[in-house]
Amino acid sequence: MNEYNQMFDHHWSLYQKILHHNYMGHDQIYSVFEQDIVTRKQTPFSFLDIGCGDAQTITGRLKSTAINAYTGIDLSADALAHAHTFVTPLNVQTHLVNNDFEEALCDLVKQNTQFDVIFSGFALHHLAPEQRMLTFQNIFQLLDKGGCFYLIDVYPHRDETREAYLDRYLAKPMTQWNELNETEKTILNDHVRGSDFPACKDTLIEIATESGFSSIQCLFEDDEHANILMAFTK
Ligand SMILES: C[S@@+](CC[C@H](N)C(=O)[O-])C[C@H]1O[C@@H](n2cnc3c(N)ncnc32)[C@H](O)[C@@H]1O
């Protein structure tokens, strides 16, 4: 088990608290995702969710879509145990994979699996910078022709150092996320400083272009929460 994932392995209730108070801006960005997928995918589609967590937010947004199969990958067994509850009401074929997503994606590529839609919400920033390209290449391989990869993630400004980004990002949780107690703030601070390596928008565009994606759209940027929603089409 990777040590960096301790926050999600042992403190899933802390993340649920963050979601409950919409501290990361899930409501706004997932709402834009929902509007886009409802219009983009009107026929039945299979869906891969990378770093799905408990799948609570995403399944709420997929209810009004034509989804017919859901695969979720997550390293946290605790989160996946909750995911069953949230995916069941979708009433679709379901596959939950408890593994590191880099390994799981390689396995799926080896099995020649294909998806119509691939999604990742607030998870790929855990990739080490040198692993990003392989992950995007695997995602490209796993998509059917015409398929779409949606990425929601935190992102630094162009030319912002990691240190400057971390200080900017963490200023709000430390001073304004008032429902978190001091212990929870310390866990969060340690997790983000130790495990977050987000890519800026230009880097994401560069990697996606090199991986072969034909169309790249930025659907939403939320500077207040440092979040971005991008759609990459094969
Ligand atoms: C911030 S949560 C995001 C959950 C959900 N997708 C959302 O948008 O709210 C990040 C999730 O990624 C998972 N994760 C982080 N690194 C991972 C890895 N290398 N392999 C698989 N899952 C990972 C964590 O366990 C956690 O559930």
In the structure, which protein residues have their CB atom closer than 6 angstroms to any atom of ligand 1? 5, 8, 51-53, 57, 73-76, 79, 100-101, 121-123, 126
CA distance 77 to 164: 33
pLDDT tens digit sequence for 176-199: 999 999 999 999 999 999 999 999
pLDDT tens digit sequence for 112-123: 999 999 999 999
**By alpha-carbon position, which residue is closest to atom 11 of ligand 1?**
51
Cβ-proximal residues to 36 (8 Å cutoff; 6+ apart), any chain: 150, 219, 231
Please determine, for residue 1, whether its predicted confidence score (pLDDT) is greater than 60. Answer: no
pLDDT tens digit sequence for 31-57: 999 999 999 999 999 999 999 999 999
Report the side by side order of strands in the sheet with 93-98.
Answer: 93-98, 67-74, 45-50, 115-121, 143-154, 227-233, 215-222
**By alpha-carbon position, which residue is closest to atom 18 of ligand 1?**
100
CA distance 180 to 185: 6
Give the three-state DSSP class for 13: helix
State residue 48's pLDDT score: 98
Please give the domain boundaries of the chain with CATH numbers for all domains.
3-233 (3.40.50.150)
CA distance 190 to 199: 19
Please determine, for residue 109, whether its predicted confidence score (pLDDT) is greater than 50. Answer: yes
- Which atom in ligand 1 lies closest to the alpha carbon of residue 9? 25
**By alpha-carbon position, which residue is closest to atom 3 of ligand 1?**
122
pLDDT tens digit sequence for 125-145: 999 999 999 999 999 999 999
Q: In the predicted model, what is the mean pLDDT of the chain?
A: 95
